[in-house]
Structure 1
Amino acid sequence: MKYVGKKWEEQIAASVQVRGGEWKRVMEGQSWMHFTKQTRPDWKQFVKMMMMMMMMMMIAYLRLLPYKAILTNFTLSQMLGHYSILYPLQSEYKYARKLRCSPLYSVLETRGAVFGTRMGYERPLYFDSTYKPGNPLPQMPPGSFYKPRFFDFMLEEYLACREGVGIIDMSSFSKMQIKSSGTEVVDYLQKLCSNDVNIPVGGCAHTGMQNERGGYENDCMLVRLTNNSYFMVSPTSQQTRIFEWMHQNLPSDSTVDITDMTSMYTVINVVGPKSRELMAELSNSDINLHPFTYKKVNVGYASDVMVMSFTHTGEPGYCLYIPSEYALHVYDRLMMVQHITHFV
């Protein structure tokens, strides 16, 4: 029989029904002997039904066939990761990679970045400073419980952030906008958050979100954009789950709206005691911000870059939330000025 679309599937579904719920009783666990003695089905109808079910299973298999290689590799990666030794900092998937990439991915790769993945998002773990363009790309070394081969690379990066300035791609963070027509968004967030988020416009508040039992649902940063809108930054792994949880707790009158903006912004952390000097070279705006505040400024030729006066590292610096179309330009200017003026 030729497959002709959804209408044919509906005909199959109708044809596999057996009168009086006889098949249902078998599926619920009654014995085959009981089914045979008590109901005495029409065997021709039963055989026809089984053939139809097999055909439906075959159709489902054929639909998934184009994804067989991806599913096989991903399943293999999961199994190998489950049974392999989980070395510290070296337990990364081998298959199903490069699904989600920052606009800076190719540039960072040519600079010797070694990537890990979180929620399918490729993130640089460290940079191999011995890498030369044209050589094979650096790879994660074999696992070890001793000092890993990349330790010295990370030490160089730590010292740069501690004594000079470092540039970190943190684009994988989840980003959402929460807004309402009035001030309903404030009441909504005050109900979910443990910290007071009724802060002045332009302020940032670090807070947790708890469920009705007091358990943590989210660890996030809330930036108040206007009187009736907030910008939320939360961990990469929370993107899908927290979006659904917050939707489930929206007011029933639909006065509050949540929009996922993760892909709209590329995030660059400028970290270190010389971060202010570096930013001053790229913007005519005053970037001498109070802690936990933000400001929209021009960086290079890029407009409307959200500069936030906090980092996720414990060091002084800024988080730049850059419209993704400007990401390469801003990164290029940061690296060029840093190289010329020797901030590191």
Structure 2
Amino acid sequence: MATIPTHARAVIIGGGVSGCSAAYHLARLGWSDIVLLERKQLTCGTTWHAAGLIGQLRATQNMTRLAKYSADLYVGLEAETGVATGMRQNGSITVALTEDRRQEILRQATMARAFGVEVHEISPSEAKEMYPHLNVEDVVAAVHLPKDGQADPANIAMATAKGARMNGATVVEGAKVTRVTDDGRRVTGVDWQMGEETGHIATDIVINCGGMWGRDLAAASGVTLPLHACEHFYLVTEPIAGLGQLPVLRVPDECAYYKEDAGKMMLGAFEPRAKPWGMEGIPEDFCFDSLPEDFEHFEPILEKAMSRVPLFQSAGIHTFFNGPESFTPDDRYYLGEAPELRGYWVAAGFNSVGIQSAGGTGMALAHWLEEGEPPFDLWEVDIRRAQPFQRNRRYLRERVTETLGLLYADHWPYRQPVTARGVRRSPLHEHLKAAGAVFGETAGWERANWFANPGQEREYRYDWGRQNWFDNQRAEHMALREGVGLYDMSSFGKIRVEGRDACAFLQRLCANDVDVAPGRIVYTQMLNWRGGIESDLTVTRLSETAFLLVVPAATVIRDLSWLRRHLHEDEFVVITDVTASEAVLCVMGPKSRELMARVSPDDLTNEAHPFGLAREIELGMGLARAHRVSYVGELGWELYISTEQAAQAFEAIMEAGADMGLKLCGLHAMDSCRIEKAFRHFGHDISDEDHVLEAGLGFAVKPDKGEFIGREAVLRKREEGLKRRMVQFRLTDPEPMLFHNEALVRDGEIVSYITSANYGHFLGGAIGMGYVPCEGESAEEVLASSYEIEIAGTRVPAVASLRPMYDPKAERVRM
């Protein structure tokens, strides 16, 4: 038995596949003084009973990079460690039974090509040749990924654990971490218990890889780690004579996957409504345990399987298995350092994709720890996206009943969750609801995405073409372009930064010059040392010592963490999340000044209130702070109103605009307007991996103001030249729809993909944005090429522009 040291560079909690991978990759980087503590035995939580499917294609390019890394790692692990991983790249086939699913898998095939994954669209008859046992009578399409595969999950964990030991790491079984210790600001170590023996390891870094135990362990340290266990079912047949090796088969329309293994067949399911488990916590003695059978729950899946793969009609069932796996509210796992406590890292909540993800996440986490920043943009799975309310157990229990099934549900654009809704509401929620709002959810916020007409159903009807709200969005969009619209952005994150050193502090973090007169609004980014964009925000100077930072709803925790992590001990600055204190109403459009004159006696002319100015005004019977800025590219104001006055302000505006065509607008219309204007969106168009100059945001960077984080990278990029450029595209055919991740084709070759898109109702076609590689090329050479966008295998010609296609001189916001 390994001796547990008293000091370590890092302690990893949990000996499943993610913990073992983290240990392996850190040890490979030379972190020999690390310790992995497993409460019982390696793999005994979820890893040992995982299905072991190794798919390479994920929803985004960087998640695909991690999955491809995992597959490559597992191929070579056996030669390195002597432990067989069972890795077989026998490929996978996904079949579609409906037209909607056909569109989805063909779009996925296009996305795979854009991400560099080998993929082939195949006919039903070709699928039958590859998978002779498959009933293809109602199959309408199929795709084949030849380098997908399957592996032995437990042995992958054992191989990475052995590799970690070979490189100097200490791996200890039977040692339970009872407490993570801290000094109020950062981790100081862990307390452990092994039988009757107890001890402490002093360390600055703890990595919670505790799987379904991880949530409660994190909560004991004040760390938010929202996940909940669900029951996950599969069955394994008796040996089937002459079965032969087969690719992995996925039939998402029947919620099923099939895997051949050693002459037997496995049938697994991601049923539409799952069964949460462990509501009172995970039992202390849980180790290689299964859960009670519930054949009635699984029976509908088996019934369809007997028709889809008829050999199940005669094959005997060897094992019917039910085991727990942890799921998260948004079906994406958690990675990174927790914002609440320095040195507390997380790799957990893998939503049944832990085996295919663990190799890549271990690598990414190790480099993140070694180099102080992730190897590429990982915002999609960053722990900082988790909202504090999401640790609520009732919320999690309700939400995960849905998220398990969403793995195989139709992944329509704009799909909204249906469970655990209504947690965070604007003070205007009921007003909007009464006016016909159809709500979506972002970071727990209920936000009006579109407004139904009288008599129209207030539901999404999802589709890969024009959804049932397309005409509603068009009317709202055109009201913003030609008249006046009103939308609620109370979900904006609002961060107050104040104190003696607030200005100097923000000057160090922001790329633009924020040392402006009180009342001025500055659009800026906070950069990392590579010149990548960590935050996209506006900074309003309220006074000599107070600033208001406005950020997207989804990034508040991330932005607070970034600010607090860069605050020096000798700086007198107070950073406060004031999101809930103010509602935000946006009055936008060429008639917005006329409307505002009806609700406020203050002078709102260009001379008195120019673009980029914030000042207090009277509004209705109360007060508001009117910010003259716009995310839709029109004349207008964002009105920041004390929460308790929001309703009267809303009512005053609606009454005043009743006879001038004021239209309530949703977030879908705001998004289509911002895409026509080529405004970037954090998380899609810009991220910490995207250089601010290549994103086309150099106008918001002021290197001459003095030192700031990322300044040297900006100067270096100016010297070296751009390697890629953000370009706006419009399809010449007005019918097709763009969403994002469609392949970007330049002169006949796929070179990139669309980062965000929507329909440009004013411009008359779908509009998208994407980065075009252009090392050594001028802007003129980039635009001289011929461009197409590939949508579900069909290439559509597109017009390209480096300037916004709508109002390129930005004259309308200054009307």
Give TM-score, length-normalised by structure 1: 0.78
3-state SS of the aligned residue for 1:195? coil
> Would the alpha carbon gap of residues 25 and 165 (structure 1) be closer, same or farther in structure 2, given more than 3 Å must change?
closer
Tell whether the 8 Å contact from 2:505 to 2:567 is kept in structure 1 after alignment: yes
Partner of 1:186: 503
Q: Which amino acid aligns with 2:578?
A: M
Measure the CA separation in 2 of the matches of 1:73 and 1:282.
43
The 2-side partners of 1:163 and 1:70 are apart by 42
Matched residue, 2:398 = 73
C-alpha separation in 1, matches of 2:494 and 2:614: 15
- 2:610 corresponds in structure 1 to 290
Partner Cα separation in structure 2 for residue 120 and residue 95 of structure 1: 11
Name the counterpart of 2:584: 267
Task: Measure, in 2, the Cα distance between the counterparts of 1:84 and 1:154.
Answer: 25
Report deviation, 1:214: 2.3
The Cα offsets for residues 173-217 of structure 1, whole Å up to 9 and x where unpaired, read as 100111113xx2111111111111111111000000012332211
Structure whose residues are more often strand by fraction: 2
The 5-angstrom pairing of residues 159-308 of structure 1 reads 159-181=478-500, 184-288=501-605, 289-303=609-623, 305-308=624-627
The range that moved more, 69-78 or 230-239, is 69-78
Q: Which amino acid aligns with 2:401?
A: L
Find the aligned partners of 1:160 and 1:71 in 2 and give their Cα distance: 39
**AA in 2 matched with 1:203:** R
Q: Could you tell me which of 111, 124, 128 is aligned with 2:452? A: 128
1:152 to 471, 494, 516: 471
Amino acid at match of 1:130: P
Q: Is 1:104 aligned to residue 428 of structure 2?
A: yes
1:130 is displaced (CA, Å) by 2.8
Could you tell me which residue of structure 2 aligns to residue 330 of structure 1? 649
> SS at the partner of 1:287?
coil
**8 Å Cα contact 1:81-1:93 kept in structure 2:** no
Cα distance between partner residues in 1 of 2:569 and 2:600: 44
Q: Distance in 1 between matches of 2:448 and 2:512?
A: 32
Q: 2 CA distance for matches of 1:212 and 1:194?
A: 11
How far apart, CA to CA, are the structure 2 residues paired with 1:165 and 1:75?
Answer: 40
The aligned amino acid for 1:111 is A
- Conserved? CA contact 1:111–1:131, under 8 Å: no
The CA deviation at 1:69 is 5.0
- SS of the equivalent of 1:152 reads helix
- Larger helix percent: 1
CA contact (8 A) 1:112 1:131 kept: no
Taking the aligned partners of 1:107 and 1:75, their CA distance within structure 2 comes to 30
In 2, distance between residues paired with 1:242 and 1:117? 20
CA distance in 1, matches of 2:620, 2:638: 16
Q: Which residue pairs with 2:804 in the alignment?
A: none
- Whole-Å separation in 2 of the counterparts to 1:190 and 1:174: 20
Unaligned runs of 5+ in 2: 1-36, 42-169, 175-193, 199-212, 217-277, 283-391, 664-815
- Deviation, 1:68, is 5.8
**The residue matched to 1:190 in structure 2 has which SS?**
helix
Higher mean alpha-carbon deviation, 72-81 vs 224-233, is at 72-81
Alpha-carbon offset, residue 98 of structure 1: 0.4
| 3-state DSSP of counterpart to 1:296 | strand
Taking only the aligned residue pairs, the percentage that are identical comes to 30
Could you say if the C-alpha distance between residues 196 and 112 of structure 1 is closer, same or farther in structure 2, counting changes exceeding 3 Å? same
Match of 1:42 in 2: none
CA spacing shift, 1:180–1:155, aligned 2, 3 Å:
same
Kindly state the Cα deviation for residue 26 of structure 1 after the two structures are TM-superposed: 8.2
CA distance in 2, matches of 1:274, 1:196: 32
Residue number among 408, 415, 430 corresponding to 1:83 in the alignment: 408
Structure 1 residues 27-84: Cα deviation after superposition (integer angstroms, max 9, x where no partner): 775789xxxxxxxxxxxx969x9xxxxxxx9xx867559x665323211222233332
Cα shift at 1:97: 0.7
Q: Distance in 2 between matches of 1:196 and 1:234?
A: 17
Give the ranges of 4+ consecutive aligned residues of structure 1 lying more than 3 Å apart after TM superposition: 23-32, 60-65, 67-70, 340-344
- For residue 162 of structure 1, report the CA deviation from its aligned partner: 1.2
Residues 186, 228 of structure 1: 8 Å contact kept: yes
2:542 is paired with a residue of what secondary structure? strand
1:174 alignment partner AA: G
TM-superposed CA distance for 1:315, in Å, is: 1.3
Distance 1:343 1:197 in 2: 35
User: Structure 1, unaligned stretches of length 5 or more?
Assistant: 1-22, 33-44, 50-56
The verdict on how the C-alpha distance between 1:320 and 1:30 changes in structure 2, with shifts beyond 3 A counting, is: closer
Q: Which has the higher contact order (CA 8 A, sep 6+)?
A: 1
Which AA in structure 2 matches 1:286? Answer: D
Shift of the 68–102 alpha-carbon distance from structure 1 to 2, 3 Å rule, reads: closer
CA contact (8 A) 1:81 1:91 kept: no
In 1, the alpha carbon distance for the partners of 2:39 and 2:650 equals 65
Q: 1:91 to 1:24 in 2, by over 3 A?
A: closer
Task: Read off the aligned partner of 1:122 and give its amino acid letter.
Answer: E
Matches within 5 A, 1:32-71: 69-71=394-396
Aligned residues: 292
- C-alpha change, 1:131 and 1:243, in structure 2 (3 Å) is farther
Separation in 1, partners of 2:603, 2:430: 32
Q: Is the 8 A contact 2:627 2:638 kept in 1?
A: yes
C-alpha distance in structure 2 between counterparts of 1:302 and 1:64, whole Å: 49
3-state SS of 2:598 partner: helix
Q: Give the equivalent residue in structure 2 for 1:311.
A: 630
Q: Which amino acid aligns with 1:102?
A: S
Q: Contact 2:484–2:661 (CA<8 Å) still a contact in 1?
A: no
Output the CA distance in 2 between the equivalents of 1:94 and 1:26.
37
Alignment-mate amino acid for residue 493 of structure 2? S
Equivalent AA in structure 2 for residue 311 of structure 1: S
Q: Is the 8 A contact 2:486 2:662 kept in 1?
A: no
Distance 2:415 2:562 in 1: 29
**Residues 63 and 315 (structure 1), Cα distance of their counterparts in 2 relative to 1, 3 Å cut:** same
Q: Compute the displacement of 1:342 (Å).
A: 4.4
